[in-house]
Structure 1
Amino acid sequence: MPYVLMYHSVEKCDSDPLHITVSPARFAQQLRWLADRRLTGVSMRELLRARAAGNAGGLVGLTFDDGYADFIGEVVPVLLRLRFTATVFVVSGLLGELNVWDAGAPRKALMDAEGMRWAAMQGMEVGSHSAGHRSLTGLSDADLRHEVADSKKALEDVLGLEVSGFCYPYGHVAEREAEAVRRAGYSYACAIWRSPVTGTHALPRTYVGERDGALRLWAKRARHRVRWAR
């Protein structure tokens, strides 16, 4: 399995009960740690293409869930300085709004359509994180199609580009949900954990948080290598 890091928000904050926020200083240190080890952060699109061609050595997938507005001001500038890219997964039905799905958590602004197009122009990949950030498991067939297929079309209409990646809200995925993503025409999808459907349409990722300094990053990298050794 490819090595993929999972981020959410990058900004200064006083309260982070869900542990989804990394401070700008810590984020810059984490990406510098990769660069110092001659590892290059890339979008999922680039990573999977390189892997298919057999030349993905030294590449690390960088993903950002939810499409927070701080991706524009805090994340992209650091990526560009290091000549890295990343994939940001956005919620198509909440562009320019707030993370209303996080009950009781601090409200964070989400990227709007203009910001999303700007990120794509900087070489970042935009993927879908569903239409409304609902857990897909347990939805009706019609609601599942809306969250998966309709979100793809909505984002493509805004971007004028193909959207080839999907990310399961909360990491919830089983065979039914993975099949819906395949049928919708996505070439890959990101999950969180290993599961019976782990594969191209349910890729596991490694969570990165504020506590992850050099030692923890090294341990997570080593764990991935052991777990997925061939």
Structure 2
Amino acid sequence: MTAMPLVLMYHSVDKYDDDPFQITVSPGRFAQQLRWLAERGLTGVSMRELLRAQAEGGTRGLVGLTFDDGYDDFITEVVPALLRHRFTATVFVVSELLGEHNVWDADAPRKPLMDADGLRWAAEQGMEIGSHSAGHRSLVELSEAELWHEAATSKATLENVLGEQVSGFCYPYGHAAAREVAAVRRAGYSYACAIWKSEHSGTHALPRTYVGDRDGPLRLRAKWTRHRVRWAR
């Protein structure tokens, strides 16, 4: 595939005491990370905007911002911080768990998820809503029928909630092989996000760079440099 701009992968932005899976970034650190981007003339955008710009040949200065799982702190912490910089982002939500909790993380603190009203509000602020499947299950472990449900039903559910097309998908846990990529494409998504660069990388398995609470300016710079070197090969 052609070189991709940097795409950052977040999950939750909130105050925390316990974070065993390192998915939470504190609000202060998140604000610092956004400032780091802005001070370098970079603009955080949704995947929808990033891919549109790429198709038009103009991604210079753009960084994709994505948020997996659809935590409610996307409403309370993320969107206000993004709007202060005139940034946008894509949030990938689990369609059958709207308004509930992260039940897939059995050993992690409970985190509330966005509800339907929250999704609509975020979309009104210019954020993109994508699917993170119906139930946050590893797709590679599912039958054909289960896989289709996770991909296609989640798309239909979210489109019904939002009243607009849902174009993006994100693989739970980043698990995606040829079968899963083909199913997501067949379900009608125009793109999908994975995590790692692999033999399946392409428009329906876009690699991203993880960002956590430990990522201050020096670590962000290192990740930016690593991304540029990786795609220069």
The alignment's TM-score, normalised by the length of structure 1, stands at: 0.99
- 1:156-175 alpha-carbon deviations (Å, 9 max, x no partner): 00000100000000000000
Task: Give the corresponding residue for 1:171.
Answer: 174
Task: Give the corresponding residue for 2:27.
Answer: 24
How many residue pairs match? The answer is 230
Candidates 136, 154, 160, aligned match of 1:151: 154
Task: Give the corresponding residue for 2:228.
Answer: 225
Distance apart, 1:196 and its partner CA: 1.1
Distance 2:77 2:149 in 1: 31
Structure 2 residues not aligned, in runs of 5+: none
Candidates 93, 96, 99, aligned match of 1:93: 96
State the superposition RMSD in angstroms. Answer: 0.6
For residues 127-206 of structure 1, the aligned pairs below 5 Å read: 127-206=130-209
Partner amino acid, structure 1, of 2:222: A
Distance apart, 1:2 and its partner CA: 2.4
- 1:93-143 alpha-carbon deviations (Å, 9 max, x no partner): 000000000011000000000000000000000000000000000211110
Distance 2:85 2:5 in 1: 21
Give the secondary structure class of the aligned counterpart of 2:156: helix
Structure 1 residue 216 and structure 2 residue 219: aligned? yes
Give the secondary structure class of the aligned counterpart of 2:140: coil
Distance 1:53 1:153 in 2: 28
Task: Give the corresponding residue for 1:50.
Answer: 53
Distance 1:148 1:196 in 2: 21
Distance 2:5 2:201 in 1: 12
Partner amino acid, structure 2, of 1:217: L
Structure 1 residue 10 and structure 2 residue 13: aligned? yes
Distance apart, 1:194 and its partner CA: 1.1
Distance apart, 1:195 and its partner CA: 1.3
Give the secondary structure class of the aligned counterpart of 1:12: coil
For residues 38-77 of structure 1, the aligned pairs below 5 Å read: 38-77=41-80
Task: Give the corresponding residue for 1:36.
Answer: 39
Distance 1:223 1:123 in 2: 30
Distance 2:11 2:78 in 1: 10
Structure 1 residues not aligned, in runs of 5+: none
Give the secondary structure class of the aligned counterpart of 2:201: coil
The alignment's TM-score, normalised by the length of structure 2, stands at: 0.98
Structure 1 consecutive aligned stretches of length 4 or more whose deviation exceeds 2 Å:
none
